[in-house]
Amino acid sequence: MTMVVKHVAAALTVALVIALVPAKLAAQTDESFDKMYPFIGHWDTDIGLRGQDRGNCGGRLGDYGEKLNNCSIPVDLLPLNARAEAWLKYMDARQSPSLSECAQVSIPGVLGAGVYISGFPGRMVLYHPDPSGHVTRNVWMNGDGPPPLPGELFQHGHSVGRFDGDDLVVVTTNFTFDPDGMDDHLHMASSVRKKVTERYHIIDEDTMRLIITLEDPTFLKRPFTWAIVLSKGSGGPPTQWSMCDPDAARREVEFAYGGVKYPEEQ
């Protein structure tokens, strides 16, 4: 009789667990997925497709005194401080990790290239196209995911997300210092104090506005906010990475920018 009672109790326990697991999963995923659903898919910009610049370079000049174009952000409005202006006088193309070493472009520069958004329990994944390979970002939703350790830094930062009404808000911190971290065409750096806030707002089922706020007290006088509009595209997530050969990239930079600032490197 004792054995029968034990078997019955065990069976009831298993049945209770089986009954509770779907309910628990549903509680974790259904409501959040309903929020995620409108954002999932491929979102394109007109940037680079119809001659539209990503931003403007504010009349800034390159290594040879050439007028820069196709910057990531509206440079003419960027509130650079004296330290940033000193950086731009020091910086040249040979020091650019994205131009000469095939490093991926950081945030916010890569945000203007469009995005493919996927949704999972507790996180969203954002894929951004980049000449050196697609940038893949985990956005940990509502406190899920591993918090960074004190002083732990990443090129693309650590991203956490939440829903503010129907808007998706992503806040990214814990960046490494990046010589191209603010804009890869201007070669404006960003510091470990950089913070990027992205607000994705669905205008209609085919149109989304991305509002970006960039903070970096090391190089900016104040936070800077601008927006881009994305349109719903077709196709699935990226299936392959672009290839970049650092040796070839370095030779191209040396050929194009022959030591104009630092001739002793010749």
pLDDT of residue 8: 44
Calpha distance 124→140 (Å, rounded): 7
Q: What percent of the chain shows pLDDT beyond 90?
A: 37
Least confident of 15-24, 83-92, 113-122, 143-152: 15-24
User: How is the chain split among helix, strand and coil, in percent rounded to 5?
Assistant: 30, 30, 40
Q: Is 238 exposed, middle or buried (0-12, 13-18, 19+ CB in 10 A)?
A: middle
Query: In the predicted model, is pLDDT for residue 169 greater than 90?
Result: yes
The alpha carbons of the chain give a radius of gyration, in whole angstroms, of 23
pLDDT of residue 15: 44
CA-angle at 96, arms to 105 and 87, nearest 5°? 105
Contacts for 108 with CB less than 8 Å, ≥ 6 apart:
72, 73, 182, 196, 212, 214
pLDDT tens digit sequence for 201-252: 999 989 999 999 999 999 999 999 999 899 988 766 555 445 555 555 555 5
- The pTM of the full predicted model, rounded to 2 decimals, is 0.77
Calpha distance 84→4 (Å, rounded): 77
Banded model confidence at residue 100, pLDDT cuts 50, 70, 90: low
The one-letter amino acid code at 226 reads W
Calpha distance 188→140 (Å, rounded): 28
Contacts for 189 with CB less than 8 Å, ≥ 6 apart:
84, 87, 91, 177, 178, 179, 180, 181, 182, 219
Calpha distance 64→94 (Å, rounded): 13
pLDDT of residue 95: 81
pLDDT of residue 93: 78
pLDDT tens digit sequence for 173-190: 999 999 999 998 889 999
SS3 241: coil
pLDDT tens digit sequence for 23-76: 444 444 557 778 898 999 889 886 544 444 567 888 888 877 888 877 888 899
Q: Where are the domains of the chain?
A: 52-236+247-256
